[in-house]
Amino acid sequence: MPELEQVLLAHGGGGLLTRRLIEDVWLAAFRDPALEGFPDSAVLEPLPGRLAFTTDAFVVKPLFFRGGDIGRLAVCGTVNDLAVAGARPLFLSLAAVIEEGFRLEDLRRVASSAASAAREAGVRIVTGDTKVVERGAAEGLYLATAGLGVVPEGRDVRPSAVRPGDVVLLSGRIAEHGVALLAEREGIAFSTEVRSDCAPITELVERLFASGAEVRSMRDPTRGGLAAALYEIAEASGVTVVLQEEAIPVAPTVRGACEMLGLDPLTVANEGKLVAVVSPETAPRAVEALQATELGREAAIVGRAFERRERPLVLRTRIGGERIVEMPYGEQLPRIC
Amino acid sequence: MPELEQVLLAHGGGGLLTRRLIEDVWLAAFRDPALEGFPDSAVLEPLPGRLAFTTDAFVVKPLFFRGGDIGRLAVCGTVNDLAVAGARPLFLSLAAVIEEGFRLEDLRRVASSAASAAREAGVRIVTGDTKVVERGAAEGLYLATAGLGVVPEGRDVRPSAVRPGDVVLLSGRIAEHGVALLAEREGIAFSTEVRSDCAPITELVERLFASGAEVRSMRDPTRGGLAAALYEIAEASGVTVVLQEEAIPVAPTVRGACEMLGLDPLTVANEGKLVAVVSPETAPRAVEALQATELGREAAIVGRAFERRERPLVLRTRIGGERIVEMPYGEQLPRIC
């Protein structure tokens, strides 16, 4: 491969080569007026209302996987963090740490995939930064995104807002991102291909609010899975959430893979799911609203909040028993996002 | 060293260990209400006016150096990108990619240093993310920050706004950050210790506007140095900037070091300097305003814009000759920020 088709240390120097890389890769993919002229900051028109602001770093391995890549993941991850704060995502920043020798072709693929995901989610990538480190000082590419959105009047979702009686909704099948990544990484083939669920959940959130649902709390169950997301909500609200195992959608292949690999699907990462806790009165219309979307077809009521018992999170199993679900301790699957 | 005094891969898993790390390191240093309860996004009160939004990744080597460390650098770099857009910096995000085995003590030192720099600059760190990669998949620690600020009414600075006759101001001595880093990295001792100039330039910018100066363009001359900053402005504005070599403040030790190492001080990175182009009428009061600040004591008029000549940037040397200054091509000093 010709030398110039790889990222060189000099591409990170802030000179002409840096500019060419930015033009050739990022500007070509994102085509945003805010990026023209290499300003130090994007200057944006005033945004009315409360702002939501979030950030994520992405070190996923491998960089390309079934259902997505690090570019799509970075955009969806950040958009989803804004969405579950009740915000309409508007603007993203994207910073890249690239290992010397990384193929420009792969970088363009990542940029193009981030651009598609941004279009899908209705956000603009308006500012960025590119750094290059020596061979061996990173594994290919790490990304960091930050996101900015506006929280419409009247939306007030907080982890601590759940009350006994509230209903837990889940927008679809869990554990697909984590299992897809692991399969890819370890070269495991399942009878049916498992794809990452990596997607923006903005539409799910907008439909939920449009339905008139009283939304108390939302989370996107990424690292730590559904278990971590609900544990944190239950703990912050001082309630106990009881999940119904049989109600939680899990694809049979994914369930099989988890059994084979000794993973609990409840703690495996998702990248395109919404967990929402809503008032009991509005739960039926909330589920209906989610089910009316493409991503939410399999949305279901999966649990309910009760007065606080001994522990914050309990699973009522298929066979009628109860199992305490703890906050996952450490790492089930490293470098999942 | 006990195992728990190092960052483990499991600290990045999104479970209990991640929470403990965040509480122990980041929340302890930043103490911001927006960070309490681990929300997916910080929700901020409405900000009146145009917004400035920027991001940077930091891969500086070494992580600790004379005059700063990666934490201070990350905060100053992002704050300064907002300031030179004419914005008042308000909020920062901070994402970290940590190598397994990194000492928690060092991470706390970085967090505490980022917190001090944020206080100095008057900004709040309101959202963050922590990822951990295996030993060898990063060199200790990389950071990515994004920044959010408000551009007060009436400020309109753009790289393309410079007109012939406009005056170029520089807030102080150049090339100190790059030389300090290189000295540290290569173990070179100079007769006088060179320290990085890493600092927030927010006060310089505020004083400049308060003086009534008509500010056309501003840059903070980081990667690529003064040369890259002015080349970009001159090119975007369609003018030629002529710099007066004798007017550019360079510390004698730094000049000596550059000569010894074969570096052009014009292209060496700074992390606490302001380059501003102002109207000729308001240049005197602008310099005076900068000189009245601690950081700007040595502020000077270092050049002037002319009708476009053959090339955008020219240096009039001490001995009266003229030298064309090109946009730096690639990397003089890798991993400077």
Radius of gyration of chain B (CA): 21
Instruction: Encode pLDDT of B135-157 as tens digits.
Output: 999 999 999 999 999 999 999 99
- The pLDDT of residue A39 is 87
**Same-domain status, A104 and A177:** no
Does A112 map to a domain? yes
Identify from B3, B51, B53 which residue to disrupt to test chain A contact, counting A C-beta atoms within 10 A and taking the largest count.
B53
**Same-domain status, A54 and A79:** yes
In percent, how much of chain B has pLDDT > 90?
A: 88
Instruction: Encode pLDDT of A209-222 as tens digits.
Output: 999 999 999 999 99
The strand pairing partners of A125, in sequence order, are A92
Report chain A residues whose CB lies below 8 A from the CB of B331: 8-10, 12-13, 15, 17
- The pLDDT of residue A187 is 83
- The pLDDT of residue A295 is 97
In percent, how much of chain B has pLDDT > 70?
A: 98
A289-309 mean pLDDT = 98
**Same-domain status, B308 and B167:** yes
**Same-domain status, A220 and A105:** no
Instruction: Encode pLDDT of B297-326 as tens digits.
Output: 999 999 999 999 999 999 999 999 999 999
Report chain A residues whose CB lies below 8 A from the CB of B161: none
**Same-domain status, A146 and A173:** no
Of B122, B151, B180, which closes a domain?
B151
Does A107 map to a domain? yes
Average pLDDT over chain A, rounded to an integer:
95
Report chain B residues whose CB lies below 8 A from the CB of A45: 50-51
The residues near A27 (Cβ < 8 Å, ≥ 6 apart) are A35, A36
Identify from B4, B8, B43 which residue to disrupt to test chain A contact, counting A C-beta atoms within 10 A and taking the largest count.
B43
Does B267 map to a domain? yes
Instruction: Encode pLDDT of B166-210 as tens digits.
Output: 999 999 999 999 999 998 888 877 767 899 999 999 999 999 999
Where residue B190 sits, what CATH number does that domain have?
3.90.650.10
**Same-domain status, B255 and B139:** no
Tokens of A182: 């692991």
Residue among A264, A172, A157, A174 nearest A219 (CA) = A157
Contact status of A128 with chain B (Cβ, < 8 Å): yes
- The pLDDT of residue B300 is 98
Instruction: Encode pLDDT of B49-84 as tens digits.
Output: 999 999 999 999 999 999 999 999 999 999 999 999
Closest Cβ opposite residue A96 in set B13, B57, B134: B57
Contact, A63 vs A140, CB < 8 A? Answer: yes
Contact, A113 vs B75, CB < 8 A? Answer: no
Lowest model confidence (mean pLDDT) among A175-189, B17-31, B123-137: A175-189
Does A162 map to a domain? no
- The pLDDT of residue A332 is 67
Does B337 map to a domain? no
**Same-domain status, A193 and A282:** yes
Q: Chain B: residue nearest A60 by CA?
A: B133
| Rounded Cα–Cα distance for residues A331 and A336 (Å) | 10
CB contact (8 A) between residue A38 and residue B232: yes
How big is the CA angle at B83 (ends B311 and A49), to the nearest 5 degrees?
125
Q: Cβ of A329: how many Cβ atoms within 10 Å?
A: 15
CB contact (8 A) between residue B47 and residue A51: yes
- How many structural domains are present in chain B? 2
Does A233 map to a domain? yes
Does A302 map to a domain? yes
Closest Cβ opposite residue B53 in set A19, A41, A267: A41
- The pLDDT of residue A2 is 53
Look at residue B1 and tell me whether its pLDDT is greater than 90: no
Strand (E) or helix (H) holding A119: helix A104-121
CB contact (8 A) between residue A160 and residue B37: yes
Look at residue A1 and tell me whether its pLDDT is greater than 50: no
Q: Which residue has the tokens 């991503």?
A: A295
CB contact (8 A) between residue A51 and residue B37: no
CB contact (8 A) between residue A328 and residue B94: no
Closest Cβ opposite residue A151 in set B10, B43, B147: B43
Instruction: Determine the 3-state secondary structure of A213 from DSSP.
Output: coil
Own/partner contacts of B292-295, CB < 8 Å, gap of 24 or more, are B292/B207, B293/B203, B293/B204, B293/B207, B294/B203, B295/B171, B295/B172, B295/B199, B295/B201, B295/B203, B295/B204
Where residue A122 sits, what CATH number does that domain have?
3.30.1330.10
Average pLDDT over chain B, rounded to an integer:
95
Strand B215-219's sheet: what is its strand order? Answer: B215-219, B275-278, B167-170, B300-307, B239-244, B313-316, B322-324
| Rounded Cα–Cα distance for residues B205 and A211 (Å) | 48
**Same-domain status, A183 and A317:** yes
**Same-domain status, A222 and A135:** no
CB contact (8 A) between residue B53 and residue A126: yes
Lowest model confidence (mean pLDDT) among A113-117, A148-152, B261-265: B261-265
Residue among A25, A46, A58 nearest A198 (CA) = A58
- The pLDDT of residue A118 is 98
The values of phi and psi at residue A218, to 5°, are -135, 155
Instruction: Encode pLDDT of A55-98 as tens digits.
Output: 999 999 999 999 999 999 999 999 999 999 999 999 999 999 99
Contact status of B44 with chain A (Cβ, < 8 Å): yes
**Same-domain status, A194 and A147:** no
Of B151, B167, B191, which closes a domain?
B151
- The pLDDT of residue A329 is 84
Q: Which residue has the tokens 């950030």?
A: A55
CB contact (8 A) between residue B44 and residue A57: no
Per-residue pLDDT band at B332 (split at 50, 70, 90): low
Rounded to a whole number of angstroms, the distance from the CA of B192 to the nearest CA of chain A is 27
Per-residue pLDDT band at B331 (split at 50, 70, 90): low
B121-131 mean pLDDT = 97
Closest Cβ opposite residue A95 in set B55, B85, B328: B55
Does A270 map to a domain? yes
Strand (E) or helix (H) holding B183: helix B176-186
Contact status of B256 with chain A (Cβ, < 8 Å): no
Of B128, B151, B174, which closes a domain?
B151
**Same-domain status, B250 and B133:** no
Tokens of A132: 């290059």
**Same-domain status, B7 and B93:** yes
Look at residue A141 and tell me whether its pLDDT is greater than 50: yes
Rounded to a whole number of angstroms, the distance from the CA of B138 to the nearest CA of chain A is 5
Residue B220 belongs to domain spanning: 159-324
3-state secondary structure string across B197-263? CCCCCHHHHHHHHHCCCCEEEEECCCCCHHHHHHHHHHHHHCEEEEEEHHHCCCCHHHHHHHHHHCC
Contact, A286 vs A278, CB < 8 A? Answer: yes
Radius of gyration of chain A (CA): 21
Contact, A250 vs A177, CB < 8 A? Answer: no
Complex confidence, ipTM: 0.96
- The pLDDT of residue B329 is 84
Instruction: Determine the 3-state secondary structure of B324 from DSSP.
Output: strand
Tokens of A180: 């897809």
